[in-house]
Amino acid sequence: MLKFILRRIGASALVLLGASVLMFVLTIKSGDPLQDLNESNDPNRDALIAERTERMRLDDTWYERYWDWLSGVGGCFTGSCDLGVTVNGIDVLNLTQQAAASTLRLITLSTLLAIVVGVALGILTAIRQYSGFDYTVTFSAFLFFSLPVFWAATLLKEYAAIQYNNWIAVGQYAPWTIVIVGLLAGFLLQAVLGGSARRRIVTAATAFAFVTVVLFAFNALDWWRDPMFGIGGVLVVSAAAGVLVTALVAGLRNRRALYAALTTVVVGVIAYLVTAPLLVNEPSWLLLIGLFVIAVVVSVAVGAAWGGYARKQSMLVSGITGVITSIMVVADLLIAHWSSFLGLKSRPISTIGSQTPNFNGEFWERALDMGTQILLPTILLTLVSVATHSRYTRSSMLETLNQDYVRTARSKGLSEREVIVKHAFRNALIPITTIVAFDFAALIGGAIITEQVFGWKGMGALFQDGLRAVDPAPVMAFFLVTGIAAVLMNLLADIAYAALDPRIRR
């Protein structure tokens, strides 16, 4: 395996080197970096031209300038990283750190959501091939994939930000809106679950009744402006998630895995009660990360303790349940501070920027501000990626489900869950892994338009500013981040291939 990884790293390094040469040459040949000064009437124009010429080393040959840049990048391995300066003399390394942090925060969240939603929809549509649900998801996938990004972003800004901000000032749904939402919920749920006509009618009616009652209750409690979730909500939702994860991964007949999941939920809720004063009064990102790591470790340990003959499955189930419980704890804290956040920012969903200037809220209010700022671009990038993931997952699953070994597994009397999860899905993961790896790097490049529409100062702005000024330093910084991201994701994909199919290692 080590030799396999080293070969991939070596090949990737050669590809990066060749691509960096091409990118550097194309950038410096794309225009005149002195054009703005040549057209200037400034009395110090000649001095400014001479200063920029010296700073950018415009009198040197392209390979001398490239070698200077490559030497600076090489210094990153010895702690003396130098990515050069912009045409205005600003250090590119600092700009890159800020831009990469902003973009990667957006891209990572979008990728994770797209993987979970896209793969789940792909599996469901493959199982329910040629059903109404399959046609609906297929149509939606092609629609979202074909939408121009700038147009979809404009629609999101209008309806998910401006109109929502107008509505939240009152925070009440009209009765006819509640009825329509209930009907849509009933229609979608019966389409997903399927079954006989009677079962579909019962499912739709139950979903309609539940959604309408809940929404009317939320209106009566003014829940949208002053929401409440609480320990009970965390316990119920986490326990339901634990049961669902157990059903998907191990099956409900595996009592040890089920008990491990429920024990994890109980331990998580107790830990929340113990640490609540600390999380409310003295929160920090470092504290949250530390508690999350501890939660995962404890969850896996609970799974190992309950595991017995099914230790691996129990550890996986309890680990996933622990992550979900941690997310629900954070969600409860955010929900509890939503009312105070609205008091500081009456129009919560912003359409421009990655954070609100001069925002003076406490830790959880600032976290809500960051979350609402990232919401729209994340939705946009997720919708585009979900379309790709769902289609590839569906195609790969359909191909796998028609294989002889899947029919053999069914003929042996295995449950449909075991056939889908253990046999079909595992073997369908290789092409899906390829798409995920490429999509992460492609999203960084594709986020240029999204960042421009939503006013994010990320890698897209860095690339555009450098290309507009014919300045190779920021353009090469963009290439460095996206190139390394692409290499790392493809390396992880190669390792995943070897883990999924040991034959690939040879």
Q: Are residues 232 and 318 in the same domain?
A: yes
Would residue 233 count as lying in a domain?
yes
Three-class DSSP category at 85: strand
Would residue 186 count as lying in a domain?
yes
Q: Are residues 258 and 205 in the same domain?
A: no
Q: Are residues 179 and 256 in the same domain?
A: no
Which of 76-80, 139-143, 326-330 shows the highest mean pLDDT? 326-330
- Under the banding of pLDDT at 50, 70 and 90, the label for residue 425 is confident
- pLDDT (average), residues 295-319: 91
pLDDT, one tens digit per residue, over 386-399 is 888 888 899 989 98
Three-class DSSP category at 223: coil
Q: For residue 91, what are the β-bridge partners? A: 85
pLDDT, one tens digit per residue, over 195-227 is 788 888 999 999 999 999 999 999 999 999 999
Residue span of the structural domain in which 188 resides: 173-221
Q: Which alpha helices (DSSP H) does 282-308 contain, by range?
A: 285-307
Cα 451 from chain centroid?
Answer: 15
Q: Are residues 287 and 320 in the same domain?
A: yes
**pLDDT exceeds cutoff 80 at 377:** yes
Would residue 237 count as lying in a domain?
yes
Q: Are residues 319 and 338 in the same domain?
A: yes
Q: Are residues 233 and 260 in the same domain?
A: yes
Long-range contacts: 276-282, Cβ < 8 Å, 24+?
279/329, 279/333, 280/333
Q: Are residues 232 and 331 in the same domain?
A: yes
Last residue of a domain, one of 184, 206, 221: 221
**pLDDT exceeds cutoff 70 at 261:** yes
Residue type, 272: Y
Last residue of a domain, one of 314, 345, 376: 345
Q: Express as a percent the part of the chain with pLDDT over 90.
A: 33
Would residue 410 count as lying in a domain?
no
- Measure the CA–CA gap between 152 and 383, rounded to whole angstroms: 10
pLDDT, one tens digit per residue, over 342-376 is 999 989 998 887 778 888 888 999 999 989 988 88
Averaged confidence pLDDT in the chain: 87
Give pLDDT, residue 502: 67
Give pLDDT, residue 273: 94
**pLDDT exceeds cutoff 80 at 448:** no
- Alpha-carbon torsion (368, 370, 371, 373), positive or negative: positive
Taking the alpha carbons at both ends of the chain, their separation in whole angstroms is 9
Cα 153 from chain centroid?
Answer: 17
Would residue 205 count as lying in a domain?
yes
Would residue 304 count as lying in a domain?
yes
Q: Are residues 325 and 281 in the same domain?
A: yes
- pLDDT (average), residues 226-241: 93
- Measure the CA–CA gap between 498 and 11, rounded to whole angstroms: 17
Residue type, 334: L
φ, ψ for residue 91, nearest 5 deg: -65, 125
Q: Are residues 237 and 216 in the same domain?
A: no
Q: Are residues 232 and 207 in the same domain?
A: no
- pLDDT (average), residues 490-505: 72
**pLDDT exceeds cutoff 70 at 251:** yes
Give pLDDT, residue 506: 61
In Å, the largest CA–CA distance within the chain is: 88
Token pair for 378: 């994340």
φ, ψ for residue 226, nearest 5 deg: -135, 70
Would residue 439 count as lying in a domain?
no
Q: Express as a percent the part of the chain with pLDDT over 70.
A: 98
pLDDT, one tens digit per residue, over 23-74 is 999 999 888 888 888 777 878 888 888 888 888 888 888 889 999 999 988 8
Last residue of a domain, one of 313, 345, 377: 345
| Total tally of structural domains belonging to the chain | 2
Give pLDDT, residue 232: 92
- Under the banding of pLDDT at 50, 70 and 90, the label for residue 235 is very high
- Measure the CA–CA gap between 91 and 477, rounded to whole angstroms: 11
- Under the banding of pLDDT at 50, 70 and 90, the label for residue 419 is confident
Q: Are residues 252 and 338 in the same domain?
A: yes
- Under the banding of pLDDT at 50, 70 and 90, the label for residue 246 is very high
Would residue 294 count as lying in a domain?
yes
Give pLDDT, residue 505: 60
**pLDDT exceeds cutoff 90 at 182:** yes
Q: Which candidate, 376, 394, 315, places its Cα nearest to that of 135?
A: 394
- pLDDT (average), residues 419-442: 80
Q: Are residues 234 and 340 in the same domain?
A: yes
